[in-house]
Amino acid sequence: MTHADNRPAHLAHHFTDVEQQKDSAKLGMWLFLLTEVLLFGGLFAAYAIYRSTHIDMFYNAHKFLDVRLGALNTFVLIFSSVTMALAIRSVQLGDRRKALVNLGITLVCAGIFLVVKYFEYSHKFHMGQLPGKFYTFNGIAGSNPHIFFSIYFMMTGLHGIHVLGGIGTIGWMMVRTAKGEFSADYYTPLELTGLYWHLVDIIWIFLFPLLYLIG
Amino acid sequence: MQSPTVANYLNSPTGWKSWLFTLDHKRIGIMYLAAIMTFFAVGGVLALIIRLQLLSPHGTLVSANTYNQLFTLHGAIMIFLFIIPSIPASLGNFVLPQMLGAKDVAFPRLNLASWYVYVFGSLFALYSIVAGAVDTGWTFYTPYSTTTNTSVVSMTLGVFILGFSSIFTGLNFIVTIHKLRLPGMTWFDMPLFVWGLYATAIIQVLATPVLGITLVLLILERTMGIGIFDPAMGGDPVLYQHFFWFYSHPAVYIMILPGMAIISELVAAFTHKKIFGYKAIAFSSLAIAFISFLVWGHHMFTSGQSELAAMMFSFLTFLVAIPSGIKVFNWVATMYKGRISLETPMLYTLSFLFLFSIGGLTGIFLGALGVDVHLHSTYFIVAHFHYVMMGGTVMAFLGGLHYWWPKMFGKMYSEFWGRIATILVFIGFNVTFFTQFILGAKGMPRRYYNYLDQYQPLHAFSSYGSWILGLGFLIMFIYLIHSLFKGKKAPGNPWGALTLEWTNSSPPPTENFETTPVLTHGPYAYDTVVADRG
């Protein structure tokens, strides 16, 4: 080991330098995001197939989703992506306090998203607009309206789990930022969390029109 | 040669904790190897019981229900617990960083997590054996899988979890290959084993998530009746087949590509000749990975797919033969005028070339639409995929295991018994499975508990073959275990091979190399460099 003395503490033993470690982490994260896209891809494929075979039913069923709440959530998530990016910018500029504020706002937005989702879900539970065999609602014209809600709950549910994962990770990043683990020289975990959070937003940006805005 | 007290990755650090919490890719590879070989033995014993049941047309060794569970477990264990992780997670983990001159894989903690996730997923799979074994076949086709009262949920949950371990390994390898190569090592300086694992890793990362969501949908279908795959509720059971094979056909290449990758190493090392067509072999791996995503429909030629779709899938299936053929011809061309030494790994290489060619060619038969209508769901299929998976991947795996055994454990196995076992495995395999081509062509359906008397002689012959095969494996297990305790000490480079992992001692030091290695020649520069054996 030639540079044993000037290796920073966060540099793992098997990497030659900080650059190599950072590049590896980023590539790994992008590959992980790719697996996420394919995970949701299966559901998008199911959506495309059943929408093409049930065009009228999908149109009739989508009217029972609240566009205003969906739009509100879309706005909340896009805004949280901005604050996430600002948090990383603040760390790059060495402003720990500002980074914490921005991460906090991101966390609150994620919370608001889930609260809105909770009200939407409980309304549907109340109305009996549930997946598959639990579907009891009467009043949607077209065959097999339960399929729409199977897909709706699968897609938004899987997305919701990812939001929960994001809340946990962002919270953990706040703790590490508060402890002063990140600086302008080293903020890779924060950057990776940002990438993940943007993916969660992008998936929602596809879900919103596909489910709420069927024309 | 080194004295026994020299520190290496096996003896330093010491203590069971140093193994359970190890971040060393070599130790994780060994832990994977132990787990994988255990499941291989379990799956093999299940296969022997199946063959014993089929010895006579009205056999009653096990009940019909138990028989269904036996072939399901044999398939599920061999596919998900053995063959998918086999080469990448055990041999790949051990060798890949060394071949690149790296100290470890890019994410050592993720690597260890992958092993624990694998063990955790295996426990689920084992639990479902105890709690009313699954009888659906390893493909879990709906609607049967949503209505049978066996433990489909715990089994599919196990497979879902195992998928994560596969993704972790693949992701780790891609990043390692991109970022941790020795300074100065270009993509075309990499051994072909690395190229093969790279192509495999791409499929692992891209296909496995789709299996994950498919199994989640299946579990929800079973537990909550979401109706996606249930025709009574407007769903489509064939959609399940599409989803399943969108993963599981590429998964076949997750199994065979690492086998091909090993053969590229062995064929050069044991003919002591520069590999013929390096770039052709490297790119054909990527071509196979690419085409693998476009052929899943050939599993559904008889499931009510449109004729146009069937024709396109048939055509795309034929395309796979091109990169596969390129590889086989290049390996044979490498052997031409080479100095071939017939040690155990080379015997397995020759077995691979012979058996994989038969397996590949019969795949073309099955890809042809008219022929497939006659042969689908018969023993012809069973024989075909055993020729590719066992005759291909397992032969390559065993070849690789013997090739790197001295490096892994610092001990030589018995060459004499090694050759005997290889010959027994080769003969036993052909007796068992070539017979099944004939059975299938005569119309014997797969997965049947009893059968017509006319098939009896061939079935019995196949069962005799399974005993020869079993004997071969038994001998192999005995001499390999024996070598760990009584084997001759292995030198650093027993085969005179030129890739980087042979430049260090056997077993390698904890950090892989005493000093950062310097790349002085290509991996197959047998025409210019002579490496002494020893």
Q: Is A1's pLDDT higher than 60?
A: no
Residue A133 has pLDDT above 90, yes or no: no
Q: Smallest Cβ distance to A14: which of B102, B171, B235?
A: B102
Q: Where are the alpha helices (DSSP H) in B376-455?
A: 379-388, 395-409, 415-441
Question: Is A3 among the domain residues?
Answer: no
Structurally, how many domains does chain A consist of?
1
Query: Does the pLDDT of residue A118 top 80, yes or no?
Result: yes
Asked whether the beta carbons of residue B225 and residue A144 sit closer than 8 angstroms, the reply is: no
A chain contacts of residue B178, beta-carbon cutoff 8 Å = 24, 27
Most B CBs within 10 Å, among A1, A21, A38, to test the B interface:
A38
Q: What is the DSSP letter of B274?
A: P
**Cβ-Cβ contacts under 8 Å, A45 against chain B:** 243
What is the model's pLDDT at position B133? 80
Q: What is the pLDDT of residues B86-142, one digit of tens each?
A: 999 999 999 999 999 999 999 999 999 999 999 999 999 888 887 878 888 889 998
Q: Is residue A118 part of a domain?
A: yes
Residue A8 lies in a domain: no
* In chain B, where the domains are located: 16-502
Cα dihedral A202, A205, A211, A214 sign: negative
- Burial per residue of A126-150, b for 16 or more beta-carbon CB atoms within 10 angstroms, e otherwise: eeebbbbebbeeeebeeebbbbbbb
Say if residues A43 and B213 touch (Cβ distance below 8 Å).
yes
Say whether residue A48 is in contact with chain B using an 8 A CB cutoff. no
Question: What pLDDT score does B2 carry?
Answer: 45
What is the spatial distance between Cα A1 and Cα B197, in angstroms, rounded to a whole number?
Answer: 29
Q: Residue B445: helix, strand or coil by DSSP?
A: strand
From chain B, the residues in CB contact with A134 under 8 A are 224-225
The closest of B193, B218, B213, B5 to B96, measured between CA atoms, is B193
Residues of B with CB under 8 A from a CB of A: 102-104, 106-108, 110, 167, 171-172, 174-175, 178-180, 183, 205-210, 212-214, 217, 220-221, 224-228, 230, 233-236, 239, 243
What's residue A5's pLDDT?
A: 56
Angle between the N-to-C axes of helices B307-335 and B344-367, in degrees from 0 to 180, rounded to the nearest 10: 160
- A42-79, pLDDT tens digit by residue? 999 999 999 999 999 999 999 999 999 999 999 999 99
Mean pLDDT for the stretch of residues A166-186: 96
B500 to B87, B101, B285: CA distances (angstroms):
19, 7, 22
Domain of residue A75 covers: 24-212
Tell me which of A115-124, A133-142, B45-54, B366-375 is least confident: A133-142
Tell me how close the Cα of B370 comes to any Cα of chain A, in angstroms. Answer: 28
* Upper half-sphere CA count for residue B332 (Cβ side, 13 Å): 12
Contact A27 B172 (CB under 8 A): no
- Domain harbouring A206, CATH code: 1.20.120.80
ipTM, 2 dp: 0.93
Kindly report the pTM of this predicted structure.
0.95
pLDDT tier at A2 (50, 70, 90 boundaries)?
A: very low
- pLDDT tens readout for residues B478-510: 999 999 999 999 999 999 999 999 999 999 999
Give A44→chain B minimum CA distance, Å: 11
* Residue A1 resides in a domain: no
Top CATH class of B16-502 equals: mainly alpha
- Residue B85 exposed, middle or buried by CB count within 10 Å (0-12, 13-18, 19+): buried
Is the pLDDT reported for residue A96 higher than 90? Answer: yes
Q: Identity (one letter) of the amino acid at B229?
A: F
Domain presence at residue A14 = no
What is d(CA B437, CA A38) in angstroms, rounded to the nearest whole number? 37
Are the beta carbons of A35 and B205 separated by less than 8 Å?
Answer: yes
DSSP letter string over B44-97? HHHHHHHHHHTTSTT--SS-HHHHHHHHHHHHHIIIIIIIHHIIIIIIIHHHHH
**Binary contact (A39, B210; C-beta < 8 A):** yes
What is the mean pLDDT of each successive set of 10 residues along chain B, which is 534 residues long?
Answer: 68 90 96 97 97 94 92 93 96 97 96 97 88 86 89 92 96 97 95 98 96 94 90 90 93 96 97 96 97 94 90 95 96 95 97 97 94 94 97 98 97 97 98 97 95 96 97 97 96 94 93 90 90 76
Cβ distance of B171 and A131 shorter than 8 Å: no
